Amino acid sequence: MIQLRNIDKYIDKRFQRTFILKGIDLNIEEGEFVTIMGPSGAGKSTLLNILGFLDDASEGEYKFLGEPVHNLSEKKKSEYHKSHIGFVFQAYHLLDELTVYENIEMPLLYRKVKSKQRKAMVADILDRFNIVAKKDLFPPQLSGGQQQVVGVARAIIGNPKLILADEPTGNLHSEQSEQIMDMFKKLNDDGVTIIQVTHSEKMAAYGNRIINLRDGALVQEDPYEGETAG
């Protein structure tokens, strides 16, 4: 599904080039549940953003579903955002002016889903995540965990093939975190590819593969380590 070849990301400042990522080679197949780990500043979020087309790599080759990403037009990228990729953020990034229902509905609007079908889909998700009672509340009225549940609901309502989660449980206490991770696990069992960034070994254990980043480079890539830990 994802092939990275020799990806670099750097910032040029005057005469100095600072590398954030350097020489990343990575393959991720469909159906994997990958965890990216590493200390602060290692470039985890940057890698995730590149994977989600939110950021461009400075050098290197990135193929998504066999198609080179650096050749994709803005339009094509937003097509992929609509149909293939869902995002979950540490800070939830729900729109404060919209209710829970409307936040979850928004991706469908960009996908031009018919009103009736939209209602059915949102109702279904609300039910599945057990937040029907909260549908008319605004995000600031919810607890962090509840907001993240909404965030996940929004990410998956369009049936994405890939979910990118940037420290999804970073702001949550353990019980809430487990709830979110259980959701991911279930989705992964249904065949959705998940790539998450986390600091927590415990959360990493939900995945089946761990990628360690240090100073912008892959330290270790052991496809079996995750399995034994899980």
Bridge pairing between strands 67-68 and 59-64: antiparallel
Q: How many CA atoms lie less than 13 Å away from 228 in the CB half-sphere?
A: 4
Which 77-106 positions form the footprint of other proteins (CB under 8 A)?
78-79, 81-83, 87, 89, 91, 93-95, 97-98, 102, 105-106
Q: Name the E strands within 29-90.
A: 33-37, 59-64, 67-68, 85-89
In angstroms, what is the minimal distance from the CB of 120 to other proteins? 18
Q: Candidates 55, 178, 215, 225: give the one binding other proteins (CB under 8 A).
A: 55
- Token pair listed for 23: 């020489």
Output 60 or 151, the one with its CB closest to other proteins.
Answer: 151
Cβ(197)–Cβ(36) below 8 Å:
yes
Distance CA 150, CA 207 (A): 21
In angstroms, what is the minimal distance from the CB of 109 to other proteins? 5
Residue with tokens 């890698």: 47
In angstroms, what is the minimal distance from the CB of 154 to other proteins? 8
In angstroms, what is the minimal distance from the CB of 122 to other proteins? 13
Residues found near other proteins in the complex (CB under 8 A): 49, 52, 54-55, 74-75, 78-79, 81-83, 87, 89, 91, 93-95, 97-98, 102, 105-107, 109-112, 154
